[in-house]
Amino acid sequence: MKTEIILIRHGQANTGAKDEESYDQLSDTGHQQANWLGDYLRGHGEEFDRVICGSLRRHRETAVGLSLPYEVAVDPRVNEMRYFDLANEFHIQTNTPIPNSAEEFAQHVPQLFTAWHSGSLDSVHVSYRDFAQRFKDVMSELVELGGRSLVITSGGVIGMAIAQHLALGPEGFAHIMLPIHNSSMHRFDVRGGSTLMSGYNATPHLDGASRSHARTNI
């Protein structure tokens, strides 16, 4: 039996938010991205042995938008880091401004993850290592179960999974995470007892000029 794990980032959330709760809902574009991805998966005959999503609202809304004919298991271990909590504590400690643009965000995240990795932000958030281990445990369980697993999660979880797979540090983790598109697919295959990364940041459901507006990162 083929063993494959496909990670999907949720559709675009509330990009103008300044806190976790305000961010945690899909935008109109995010709902459309999920609908298109569901159409793509059904149209290409993709079948799964299990579908898992995080407990965050944006994960659950993405799962609903996919409209796949499977029961969805909710697992909070695939939830995202609390970015705003980390960023606010980092600001308090270092006076580093909270980013207000995509360009500022791209500069901010490597610095933030380096501080998180050092342990200096652990008072307000689960540690970097515990966050990494949490999803590593999920991946190990899915490999053990075998078959095809679809996991609806977030960019930070996906980025961390890839960074761990490639033995990258916090800066590498940031550079993997930042380009991840909303509603993108990332694939891992298990062959000969080894887990192999076979796909990154695929958005075939957004191909074509008419959908270029929906290729979003934030």
Question: What mean pLDDT is reported for the chain?
Answer: 96
Q: Is the pLDDT of residue 152 over 90?
A: yes
Q: Is the pLDDT of residue 1 over 80?
A: no
Q: Is residue 140 part of a domain?
A: yes
Handedness of CA 163, 9, 23, 133 (dihedral sign): negative
The CATH number given to whatever domain includes residue 12 is: 3.40.50.1240
As a whole number of angstroms, the distance between CA 116 and CA 5 comes to: 27
Q: Is the pLDDT of residue 38 over 80?
A: yes
**pLDDT score at 193:** 86
As a whole number of angstroms, the distance between CA 7 and CA 151 comes to: 5
Q: Is residue 113 part of a domain?
A: yes
What is the count of structural domains for the chain? 1
Percent of the chain with pLDDT over 70: 100
Q: Is residue 88 part of a domain?
A: yes
As a whole number of angstroms, the distance between CA 212 and CA 66 comes to: 19
Q: Is residue 176 part of a domain?
A: yes
Rounded to 5 degrees, φ, ψ at 75 are: -135, 110
Q: Is residue 186 part of a domain?
A: yes
Domain span at residue 163 reads 3-213
**pLDDT score at 155:** 98
Q: Is residue 98 part of a domain?
A: yes
Q: Give the contacts of 24 (CB within 8 A, at least 6 positions apart).
A: 13, 14, 56, 57, 58
Query: What are the pLDDT digits (tens) for 85-137?
Result: 999 999 999 999 999 888 999 999 999 999 999 999 999 899 999 999 999 99
Rounded to 5 degrees, φ, ψ at 9 are: -80, 140
Q: Is residue 218 part of a domain?
A: no
Q: Is the pLDDT of residue 180 over 90?
A: yes
As a whole number of angstroms, the distance between CA 217 and CA 106 comes to: 11
